[in-house]
Chain A
Amino acid sequence: EPEVTQTPSHQVTQMGQEVILRCVPISNHLYFYWYRQILGQKVEFLVSFYNNEISEKSEIFDDQFSVERPDGSNFTLKIRSTKLEDSAMYFCASKQGAYEQYFGPGTRLTVT
């Protein structure tokens, strides 16, 4: 069964450093998403991406964040200058045309 994959599974970085989180969505999916879950809190929407552009973003997704689909398979989330409060699980999701989003296993980002 096709699945969303994410790398790395755990990323440790120092405050102020740039990180790139990578995702490979399911191959025939057209809509791509990033969510995050800070420990003990809800899963929160960050951004959606369709047709090579951002279709929606939340108030969390400020200028420090960017997304890219550099080729036909990868979907990346870049945080330019990480803060302590960026520490969270980051989930990538994708879907085709129906409403069910399929999630990857997540990347645990720890900012020290």
Chain B
Amino acid sequence: EDKVVQSPLSLVVHEGDTVTLNCSYEVTNFRSLLWYKQEKKAPTFLFMLTSSGIEKKSGRLSSILDKKELFSILNITATQTGDSAIYLCAVMNYGGSQGNLIFGKGTKLSVKP
């Protein structure tokens, strides 16, 4: 059965800290791995990773994929209170015509001032 496992499930840090969120997966017909940030309801897209070893970066956030070891990490440097959210990792397979997303349970990040 396809599965995506995120760790830790929750994390409390102080502003300015650097955090690393982990995502491991066992998915047949892997297509890509996506990270989303969920603050209220709608997950908002952060990154899509398809190739191993190529870091994607956006401001203080960065992410990398290891297709050999089947995991990805999401790094957030110099955290701010606005980074408090649930971070979802999802793997897209070749199901359907556009691929299906299989989500992990998420990591709840709380950034204290």
Asked if A pairs with B, the answer is no
Query: Chain B interface (Cβ within 8 Å of chain A)?
Result: none
Query: Chain A interface (Cβ within 8 Å of chain B)?
Result: none
